[in-house]
Structure 1
Amino acid sequence: MMSKLICVARIGAAHGVRGEVRLWTFTEDPLAVLHYGPLTTKDGSRSFEVTKAREAKDHLVASFKGITDRNAAERLNGVELYVPRDRLPETDDDEYYHADLIGLAAETTAGAPLGRVLAIHNFGAGDIIEIAPPSGSTLMLPFTNAVVPTVDLAGGRVIIELPDEIDGEDRASADESASAEDDAAAPNSARHPRESGDP
């Protein structure tokens, strides 16, 4: 079975006249992209080898094998680069790749479905988990141990402790979403068991 592809970088504008590009990476160590082997587009139609890279203010300046002039570099602007999930290092406890979280079912601590994880954001004040309910607006919650006490990758779910500050219409909306998904799933709903070693 083919490993899931993870987006690790996005190519930006050309830098200089010798084929270098600005490269925005989505890895903890920006220079780690040098060690992942060939990077590909999402559809696998193109492959890129980073030959050298250096850190700039908020990005890398990188060179790719076979890209030797500004015109060729400009044509790469906006290309996203992927690697198979199994090439990435294992995470520590309480660390997760965003791609492993997206799509997981979200449940309250009482077991009521809330929806699915849509995205993980960071606007400068910590990670935010965005949950898409079956209907209505998405929920934006702090991705902390207090609000997300359990991430069960094996079971395909996250457990959410709704904060007290989510009240009024927001809490009502969350409760309605849970109720609506409960009704939809009632005929054949199944709970995934917590497996040994899960957080």
Structure 2
Amino acid sequence: MAAPICVARIGAAHGVRGAVKLWTFTEDPFAVQAYGPLMTKDGARQFEVATAREAKGHLVVTLKGVATREDAERLNGLELYVAREKLPETDEDEYYHADLIGLAAVNAANEPIGRVIAIHNFGAGDIIEIEPPYGATMLLPFTNAVVPTVDLKAGHVVIELPQEIADDDASQTGA
């Protein structure tokens, strides 16, 4: 069975009746209601969304069994997951972050650069984080120009380093 996929993170309590702020990582924020119970990564706890409404940049939800502000406060920061099978198939050139993390990163000549350790989005587009075998991690734009190939079957991404990074890398290795 594939690893569960993180689809949301619970934020602060909202109001006094057990509602919480919910940040979703799905294309449609309300999709979290369609997946059935959401679970913690270890599967030990499950939560079912009873109601959801849109707020500024997040949802405000009530979860079945969470009735007080104190109950809601204890959930702050909890990530919620669903089984991979419950998620829709991705389109071509579309990936779940979980599919990419751990892949080898190679250059166009199939020489190792490192491995993918994270995908970030700080509001200006996706960023791929590559951990090289030495030195600091690299944060690169996740664009077709920088990541022209994602080959899940082969287990790697091809990285075309931007010229300023390639030049800096060459100067550090003495090339």
- The normalised TM-score by structure 2 is 0.94
Q: Which moved further from structure 2: 12-21 or 118-127? A: 118-127
CA-to-partner distance for each residue in 1:16-69, whole Å, 9 max, x for gaps?
111111111111111110001111111111111111101100110001111111
Alpha-carbon distance in 2 for matches of 1:71, 1:143? 40
2:115 aligns with 116
CA-to-partner distance for each residue in 1:85-132, whole Å, 9 max, x for gaps?
111111111111111101000000011001100111122222111100
The residue correspondences of 1:110-189 to structure 2 (distance < 5 A) are: 110-172=109-171
Alpha-carbon distance in 1 for matches of 2:100, 2:171? 25
**Residue ranges of structure 2 left out of the alignment (5+ in a row):** none
The alignment covers a number of residue pairs equal to 173
Alpha-carbon distance in 1 for matches of 2:48, 2:23? 15
- What residue identity is the alignment partner of 1:104? L
Alpha-carbon distance in 1 for matches of 2:166, 2:99? 29
- TM-align CA RMSD: 1.3
2:7 is aligned with 1:5:
no
1:57 aligns with 56
Alpha-carbon distance in 2 for matches of 1:13, 1:171? 46
Secondary structure of the structure 2 residue equivalent to 1:166 = helix
**Residues 88 and 158 of structure 1: is their aligned pair in 2 closer, same or farther, counting only changes over 3 Å?**
same
Alpha-carbon distance in 2 for matches of 1:78, 1:111? 39
Alpha-carbon distance in 2 for matches of 1:81, 1:95? 22
**Residues 91 and 172 of structure 1: is their aligned pair in 2 closer, same or farther, counting only changes over 3 Å?**
farther
1:88 aligns with 87
Alpha-carbon distance in 1 for matches of 2:105, 2:37? 34
Alpha-carbon distance in 2 for matches of 1:42, 1:153? 23
- What residue identity is the alignment partner of 2:154? G
Q: Percent identity?
A: 71
- The normalised TM-score by structure 1 is 0.83
2:29 aligns with 30
- What residue identity is the alignment partner of 1:65? K
**Residue ranges of structure 1 left out of the alignment (5+ in a row):** 177-199
Alpha-carbon distance in 2 for matches of 1:90, 1:20? 31
